[in-house]
Every structure is written in C-alpha cells, then in structure tokens.
Amino acid sequence: YTFDSPTLTVLPPSSEELSSKTTTTLMCLANKGFTSDWTMSWKVNETTNKQEAILEKDGLYSWSSTLTLTAQEWTKAGEVTCEAQQNSQTPVTKTLRKADCSG
C-alpha cells in the first residue's frame, strides 16, 4: 500500500517577526502521506539543514517542521526549500523565494 505524496506549504516569517529583526521562523506544513519513514529537511541557499518532522496528533497525516534563522541568515537567504523524502525515493520539495515575501 502506498501513501500519496504529501503536499508541502512553506509559510514565510510573519511581518511582526521580520520587524523585530532578531530571529525569523519559517514553517513547512505537509499533508497526506505521512508514515514514520518520511524525513524532512530544509535547504537555505542549497545548504541542507536537517529537521525533525513533527506529526500532528489529529490523525489526519498532517505534519510540520519549523526552521529558525537569525535575522542575518534570513537577510542572506535568497530562497529556502523544504524537502520531504521517503526512503530513497524522489523527494517532494517546495521553495519559498525571499523575493516573493513582503518585507
């Protein structure tokens, strides 16, 4: 039995957070397809940043991962990619381009 691939959504930092200028938090939400053998990772300008996937307890196979960057890291970031991969299969990715974010 194969699960559907998850759909990824990357939420940019809030404007309040960006104006505080200390740290910024991005969240990657995934729905569908969660089994224990999925791993999530983040890439900031092609540098991989492994993160633990957090499984929501609603039983609907929704899961998420957050990435916290310093304001300096965010300033340097051109794009941030969230990646979900099951075993050695082709990963599902979603890229947030900083140019698309306000602020």
CA 84/CA 69 separation, integer angstroms: 19
For the whole model, what pTM was predicted? 0.76
The DSSP code sequence of 70-81 is EHHHHHH-SEEE
For the chain, give every domain's residue range: 7-96
Q: What is the pLDDT along the chain (103 residues), one digit of tens a residue?
A: 455 678 899 998 888 887 877 888 898 988 765 556 677 889 987 777 766 555 555 555 667 888 888 888 888 888 899 998 887 888 899 999 887 765 5
Tell whether domain 7-96 is in CATH 2.60.40.10: yes
